[in-house]
Amino acid sequence: MGNYRYDRLSAQDNSFLVGETPTAHMHVSGVAMYEVGDLTTPAGGVDFQKLRAHVEGVLHKIPRYRQKLNWVPVFDNPVWVDDADFNLDYHVRHTSLPRPGDLGQLKRLAGRIMAQPLDRERPLWEMWVIEGLGAGDHFAIATKVHHCMIDGISGVDLQHLLMSLAPEKEPHEPVQYVPRPAPSASELFRDELRHRLSMPLSAVRGFRALQAETEDLRSEIGIRARALGELVTLAMDPPSDTPINGPLGPHRRFDWLTVPLDDVKAVRRAAECTVNDVVLATAAGAFREYMRLRNVDPSSIHFRASAPVSMRRGDEKGSLGNRVSSWMVQLPLDRETPQERLTAIREITQELKQSNSALGVEMMMRVAEWTPPVLLSLGAQAAGSQTNTIITNVPGPQVPLYMLGARQVNMFPMAPLLENMGLAIALFSYDGRLNWGFIADYNLVPDLETVRGLVERSFVELAAAFGVEVAGAMEDFG
């Protein structure tokens, strides 16, 4: 046995690779804005070298960020191996808006950055430091990490490695990087063959583990079987075609919206529902009006949103990889009033919780561990045709965070677009704000700012319907 080292990708991690197309790139992205603070250089710019040193000082805590993909011969399965030629300068990049740069220019630049695929010959992440914003007292950082590396919850954990609760001023000393030997093609093939032959035994161990974790095994198996059956039934009833669905082009638009989190919670309390119910009802109202603007009768279509659900246990906090499932939510675009839409959403989500619907996707991923990559690819492509949009909501810290003394003002997330999906919505709560990030295909949604405005209006109308007075959108810089 050699001393080589590598990590196998799970079927769910691999699904984000095989589901990627030339126009649908599976990276999780975001744009964060900061006060420059002590990172100001004598020339009035941002101390990029200090930021680069800060990233280098924490990389040893995230080994995946210095690993790249390798492929098993014949089986064509991906594995992670240490990148012996790792070059931090490729991943941490420095650019600037034409001074004085405005938020519209930042959004356009972010859209162009996110439209480009990650290089699969290198570790699958990038960080862009963007200066020249406004009067020079703020800067932005745009990040891209492939979805095969992280999900939303683990992405928040990674952010914490670069951020701190106190304004620490100096980066940590870097730990020397010594890449582990990578296996040869023949070694990978041999190990994969051994792994395939051991799958029946692994299945038995998995069954015994499930038996140990549950008090009523028969009931647990029944719940999971029903969840999987419901998912298959749903796949046989695809959503309607809409103006935001169609073949994707190579370009993207990006926009965002910020509302006070206290306002959202006030609506939640008044309506006796969850924050996510408020988000989905707000989106339903906005999509209803947007369909009418695009000459589509909202009462005549079935509009389905994929709402990712974390399956990560407490002991998995901080680990990389994906532990995520999804609810398929039929948004009630046919309901005329905000109260009716929220009531319908609340009933739908309660039913999804009671039926353990999220277990259906998890069971599919377990089955996929036995599935050849070509079938996994077909399944990933089919998944995109079962939903009109993605609405994902990730909770973040409710206190200010700092990077080398620079206070983070805001962070706007971006979800990846699936093939045939022209608009996705990602939300991230931070320091009393609920931030909406909208990513769209450049041609399918040429009026993304209209979507942004409709979401804001829908939230204000929803709040008013439940007797809650809200402030509406907040300023981007606080």
SS3 of 106-117: the string is HHHHHHHHHHCC
Return the pLDDT at 463.
97
Range of the domain at 442: 206-398+414-465
Mean pLDDT for the chain overall = 84
Identify the domain boundary among 148, 173, 198.
173
195 classed as catalytic: no
Return the pLDDT at 471.
84
Return the pLDDT at 478.
54
Query: Is the model's pLDDT at 158 over the cut of 90?
Result: no
Return the pLDDT at 450.
98
Helices (H), 198-337: 199-213, 217-235, 261-271, 275-293
Would 195 be classed as within a structural domain?
no
Would 200 be classed as within a structural domain?
no
Residues with Cβ within 8 Å of 245's Cβ and at least 6 positions away in sequence, in order, are: 388, 420, 421, 422, 444
* Percent with pLDDT over 90 in the chain: 58
* Percent with pLDDT over 70 in the chain: 79
The SS3 call for residue 40 is: strand
Q: How would residue 218 be classed by pLDDT, with cut points 50, 70 and 90?
A: low
Q: Are residues 393 and 277 in the same domain?
A: yes
* Counted domains in the chain: 2
Query: Is the model's pLDDT at 281 over the cut of 90?
Result: yes
What CATH number does the domain containing 447 carry? 3.30.559.30
What CATH number does the domain containing 166 carry? 3.30.559.10
pTM above 0.75, yes or no: yes
Q: Are residues 246 and 97 in the same domain?
A: no
Query: Is the model's pLDDT at 160 over the cut of 80?
Result: no
Q: Are residues 21 and 155 in the same domain?
A: yes
Q: Are residues 169 and 221 in the same domain?
A: no
Partners of 29 in the β-ladder: 144, 414
Q: Are residues 18 and 64 in the same domain?
A: yes
Q: Are residues 224 and 365 in the same domain?
A: yes
Q: How would residue 90 be classed by pLDDT, with cut points 50, 70 and 90?
A: very high
Q: Could you write out the three-class secondary structure of 149-183?
A: CECHHHHHHHHHHHCECCCCCCCCCCCCCCCCCCC
Q: How would residue 229 be classed by pLDDT, with cut points 50, 70 and 90?
A: low
Would 405 be classed as within a structural domain?
no
Q: Are residues 212 and 119 in the same domain?
A: no
Q: Are residues 143 and 278 in the same domain?
A: no
Q: Are residues 16 and 103 in the same domain?
A: yes
Return the pLDDT at 363.
47
Give the pLDDT confidence of 91-131 residue by residue, as tens digits. 999 999 998 899 999 999 999 999 999 999 999 999 999 99
Q: Distance between CA 473 and CA 459 in Å, rounded?
A: 10
CB of 278 closer than 8 Å to CB of 268: yes
| Mean pLDDT in residue range 190-217 | 60
Return the pLDDT at 74.
86
Return the pLDDT at 226.
56
Q: Are residues 348 and 419 in the same domain?
A: yes
Give the pLDDT confidence of 342-381 residue by residue, as tens digits. 999 999 988 877 765 444 444 444 544 445 554 444 445 5
Identify the domain boundary among 149, 173, 197.
173
Would 431 be classed as within a structural domain?
yes
Q: Distance between CA 421 and CA 244 in Å, rounded?
A: 7
Residues with Cβ within 8 Å of 119's Cβ and at least 6 positions away in sequence, in order, are: none
Would 350 be classed as within a structural domain?
yes
Q: How large is the angle between the packed helices 359-368 and 217-235, nearest 10 degrees?
A: 90
Return the pLDDT at 267.
97
Query: Is the model's pLDDT at 12 over the cut of 50?
Result: yes
Would 344 be classed as within a structural domain?
yes
| Catalytic site residue from 54, 147, 160, 172 | 147
Query: Is the model's pLDDT at 6 over the cut of 70?
Result: yes
Query: Is the model's pLDDT at 200 over the cut of 60?
Result: no
Would 252 be classed as within a structural domain?
yes
DSSP conformation class of 88: H
Q: Are residues 13 and 154 in the same domain?
A: yes
Tokens 């996929």, residue located: 368
Would 472 be classed as within a structural domain?
no
Determine the residue type at 365.
M
At residue 454, φ and ψ (nearest 5 deg) are -70, -35
Q: Are residues 211 and 154 in the same domain?
A: no
Q: Which range (137-146, 234-243, 329-338, 401-410) has the least confidence?
A: 234-243
Rounded to whole angstroms, what are the CA distances from 192 to 7, 183, 207, 429?
Answer: 12, 12, 22, 42
